[in-house]
Chains A and B, each alone.
Chain A
Amino acid sequence: AQSVTQPDIHITVSEGASLELRCNYSYGATPYLFWYVQSPGQGLQLLLKYFSGDTLVQGIKGFEAEFKRSQSSFNLRKPSVHWSDAAEYFCALSDYKLSFGAGTTVTVRA
């Protein structure tokens, strides 16, 4: 069965500092992987996706993620965090349905 694990429940980062959110997956084949962001009281917005090809994918808002098959990981990164990046971040895996990780809450301090 497919599953997604986000080991970090909550991360606090200073504005301007770098951010990395971890995502590990379990799936029998090459997965379709996604990162979504949910701002407070809002719906989910797609940051980036990986289907195949280049393992380093660029997304919106300056985010990128790297797919590492050997580690079953798809970690999200941003070099310099802005206060507006404070949100809930979800990693998800898709075959015929999306399975989400539990989410990581990101707090940005001034």
Chain B
Amino acid sequence: DTAVSQTPKYLVTQMGNDKSIKCEQNLGHDTMYWYKQDSKKFLKIMFSYNNKELIINETVPNRFSPKSPDKAHLNLHINSLELGDSAVYFCASSQLSNEQFFGPGTRLTVL
């Protein structure tokens, strides 16, 4: 039973394209997150949703738009992809401020 799942695992695309990454959690958590891990492995939060409501929106370009159709799903849509968007994107979920459970990550490569 996968707790937090992401699709796709790998995503290779051209500059300027639009792509989406999907995340689902079956833990019954109220809060979900998106993190970006850069090439130096530094992890930084991008967004957080609580019960489908955006509660954290870090300084992320407008080209990134999260969408939460229900509290078990948090998708990330990226418009006009740039080379600098290449990274590993992690989804996570938690209940209140307890520990976060992470998905396996999506490695995005922009050519």
Residue numbers of A with Cβ under 8 A of B are 32, 34, 36, 38, 42-46, 49, 88, 90, 94-100, 102-103
Contact = CB atoms under 8 A, between A and B. Distances in A.
29 contacts: A34-B99, A38-B41, A42-B104, A43-B4, A43-B90, A43-B103, A43-B104, A44-B43, A44-B90, A45-B102, A46-B100, A46-B101, A88-B41, A94-B97, A94-B100, A95-B97, A96-B48, A96-B56, A96-B97, A97-B33, A97-B45, A97-B56, A98-B45, A99-B45, A100-B42, A102-B41, A103-B41, A103-B42, A103-B43
B55 interface: yes
Taking each of B33, B55, B56, B105, which has the highest tally of chain A beta carbons within 10 Å of its own beta carbon?
B105
A44 B55 contact: no
Q: Which DSSP category, helix, strand, loop or mixed, fits chain A's interface? A: strand
Interface in B10-40: 33, 40
Interface residues of B, number: 21
Contacts of A36: 102
Given A42-B104, A43-B104, A90 B43 contact: yes
